[in-house]
Amino acid sequence: MSDGALWTALADPHRRAIVALLLERPRPVGEIVEASGLSQPSTSKHLKVLREAGLVRVRQDAQRRVYALDPAPIAELDAWLAPYRRLWNRSLDELGRRLDETAPDDSEED
């Protein structure tokens, strides 16, 4: 649930790459292996981590196992992010205001 598993899973670049691949469309392991350049065992292990983090789901298709993104945990991330987004908006706001106040003049350095 509110485990750190989600973050841990996404901390790895290869796993983020896999997730990105699955964003395009669900894929069987073999395809992921090919597209990611990882070895098959390594890929399977990463998929396991993603599975246990709830990020992906498997559907069996003959001998193949087709992995697909599960959107729910992403939403969790999104929720986590929400409070920070407010901060971000505020800072954009202030930046705008400052630019507005300081100068119809020219280029400033930060």
Partner DNA sequence: AGGTTATATGCCCGTCAAGGCATACATGAC
Partner DNA sequence: GTCATGTATGCCTTGACGGGCATATAACCT
Q: Which of residues 62-101 bind DNA (CB under 7 A)?
A: 62-66
What is the nearest approach in angstroms of a copy of itself to the Cβ of residue 49?
A: 12
**Cα-Cα-Cα-Cα dihedral sign, residues 19, 21, 24, 28:** negative
The answer to whether 52 contacts DNA (rule: CB under 7 A) is: no
Q: Annotate 66-94 with DSSP letters as a single string.
A: EEEE-HHHHHHHHHHHHHHHHHHHHHHHH
Region 22-41 residues binding DNA, contact defined as CB under 7 A: 28-30, 33, 38-41
Q: Does 52 bind a copy of itself (CB under 8 A)?
A: no
Q: By rule CB under 8 A, what count of residues binds a copy of itself?
A: 23
Comparison of 7 and 61: residue with beta carbon closer to a copy of itself:
7
Q: Give Cβ neighbours of residue 49 (< 8 Å, ≥ 6 apart).
A: 8, 9, 12, 15
**14 counts as binding DNA under rule CB under 7 A:** yes
> What's CA 19's distance to the chain center, in Å?
7
d(CA 63, CA 74): 29
Residues found near DNA in the complex (CB under 7 A): 8, 11-12, 14-15, 28-30, 33, 38-49, 58, 60, 62-66
